[in-house]
Amino acid sequence: MIEIRSSDTAKMDRLLGLCEEHGASIGIGSECCVHRLPSIEQVGKIAGQMEVLSVVTPITPQKHYDWMLEYIRSLPEGIRLVVNDVGVLYALHRDGGLEGFEAVAAGRGIVHTSEACPWVDHLVRDESEEVKAAFLQTNLNYSRTLEFMKGMGISAMETDLESRTITAALKTGLPVAGHAEFIAVSYTRSCHTARFFGEVPPGCVQRCNSPMELELVDMFDLSGSPPGFAQPSLEMFEIFPTLYLLGNTVYFKSDCKDTTGLDRVILNAEMYTDDALKQAIAAFEEK
């Protein structure tokens, strides 16, 4: 199954049309920003047009914690809930707030993988095969972590569509959804996009409807006297990919297309033009 995901409710009519055309599903919400969540009324309207709607809830700052819990408790029944904050998950489980969902999936804010580092192969190139195998697991591949998460109500997981990550994720026995093409490298507590435009959330939410490209210009050099910025080496330029900034998340692009064993493939509509999104859907329909 292909899931088209967006935090821009203004796109929903177009995306629902694509879903009907291609037999895809919809995911709404945000992995990392409470200000990009749809209203409960909007969720109900969209849910009434889908067999199962995914609602994605973000990594949540403490000042929004109580509001986030109330938001999730107000969602209609039958939703596929994606949680990216362990504290929010714990509170919902403790208070019995996870009943009535079609599934509760651990999102990328919870499911960490080392393969999301653009130069992971350079980090492990001198390590033994045993160390490489251990390093390239998801954090849910450790039995105590997996049982802890399942005990708190997790019944599915999401991670990046990278070959070794997916191989590891499938070993958990949970249904796995893979985020295609744009791999989440890092999240920030202080939003890069808001700071770049000099805006205070939520006044910046319109900035997150399309990504910005980032290129390596200089690096912080601790060896200098005094420490400061320096020109990267040629080797660093060779391994440093183009990065993409959307909100407070940095991504790089992957060409992995192997969807074997996946429960669903997720395409983030914010990362594409309309034509490019249609091409991405078509590419994964062929798999």
Taking the domains of the chain in order of start, what are their residue ranges?
2-184+249-285
Report the predicted TM-score, pTM, of the whole model to 2 decimal places. 0.92
Average pLDDT, the chain: 93
pLDDT of amino acid 65 = 96
- C-alpha 95/C-alpha 205 separation (Å) is 31
Domain covering 2-184+249-285, topology: TIM Barrel (3.20.20)
Using DSSP's 3-state secondary structure scheme, residue 209 falls into: helix
Look at phi and psi of residue 172 and say left if phi exceeds 0, alpha if psi is from -120 to 50, else beta.
alpha
The mean per-residue pLDDT over the stretch 123-137 comes to 90
Neighbours of 25 (CB within 10 A): 19
Confidence class of residue 286 from pLDDT cuts 50, 70 and 90? low
